[in-house]
Amino acid sequence: MRGVLSDRMGAALLMAPLLLFLVLAYAWPFLGVVKWSFTLPTPGLGQYDALLTDDLVQSVFIRTLRIAAIVTVVSVAAAYAITVVWVRGSPAQRLIAEFCILVPFWISVLTRAFGWVALLSNRGLINTWLQSIGFISEPLTLVRNEFGVVVGMTHFLIPFAVFPLASAMRSLDDRVLLAARGLGSSRTRTFWTVFVPMTRSGIIGSALIVFVFSLGFFVTPAILGGGRSVMIAELIYLRIFQSPDWGLGAAISVVLVLFVGALMALLFRYVRPKQLI
């Protein structure tokens, strides 16, 4: 009994510096933001009332949720296909898939965003090529709108969605798949009725990671949206540094943090934590 208590005390002492760092680096500044949301410019709930009545703020919230949902679906679907090749493909296929997964981590988000601008702008490579072959007469509007934002965010987030899926796929028992094939199931039916349901935990984990990241994206929407597809993070920046309306910006930040926390709480309530690893 005494040994168990000493082990727990030792673990608590090891965790104490990390907890102290989290409190000083995150919790304490966040409490300051909460204070701003209730005191600036005047004390009260006026800033939270503005969240419910301001059409601009509501439209940005709706746009953010819509873009985050689209990016989540597209990113997880693309990551699933890549992960299947990475985990169950031939050695050559695995090498190519691993290259495609890891190389994006070596390129900064800013460089990738401007790369997509070079590809998607009116005089970019895609529009220039389509016009040169006579497929279109006028350049397509592929950037400075929600389409460009979704493309850039999806490209950035696909690698993050791969790893929970890979963990789920590698934990599968191949004997289950062989049993399904032995009972007469086709490869396609085995994939959709056995393989995909058994990797559900990875799908949920990937969707959570991508959706939460999407809610707080700033650089990519600011560059590819061109100020026409403003999302929550950019709105907070504008309210804090350009308006300035610190109280409303702080209130939006608090609501965003609480929303993400509620999402995490619901997920861990209905999904076992080990399924997300």
pLDDT digits (tens, 9 = 90+) for 194-240: 999 999 888 988 998 899 899 988 999 999 988 888 999 999 998 88
d(Cα 41, Cα 248) in Å, to the nearest integer? 9
pLDDT of res. 75: 96
pLDDT of res. 4: 53
pLDDT of res. 120: 92
d(Cα 53, Cα 264) in Å, to the nearest integer? 27
DSSP tag of 151: H
pLDDT of res. 80: 96
Task: State the distance between the two ends of the chain, measured CA to CA, in whole angstroms.
Answer: 32
pLDDT of res. 154: 95
- pLDDT tens profile 68-112: 999 999 999 999 999 999 999 888 999 999 998 988 888 888 899
Give the list of residues 6+ apart from residue 240 with CB closer than 8 angstroms, or none: 246, 249, 250
Confidence of residue 185 (pLDDT cuts 50, 70, 90): confident
Give the list of residues 6+ apart from residue 84 with CB closer than 8 angstroms, or none: 169
Tokens 């965010």 locate to 153
Helix axes 46-53, 28-39, angle to 10 degrees: 80
Task: Reply yes or no on whether the pLDDT at 270 is more than 60.
Answer: no
Extract the tokens encoding 90: 């031939």
Domains of the chain: 33-276 (1.10.3720.10)
Please state the pTM of the whole predicted model. 0.87
Task: Reply yes or no on whether the pLDDT at 139 is more than 80.
Answer: yes
d(Cα 277, Cα 272) in Å, to the nearest integer? 10
Confidence of residue 174 (pLDDT cuts 50, 70, 90): confident
Task: Reply yes or no on whether the pLDDT at 7 is more than 70.
Answer: no
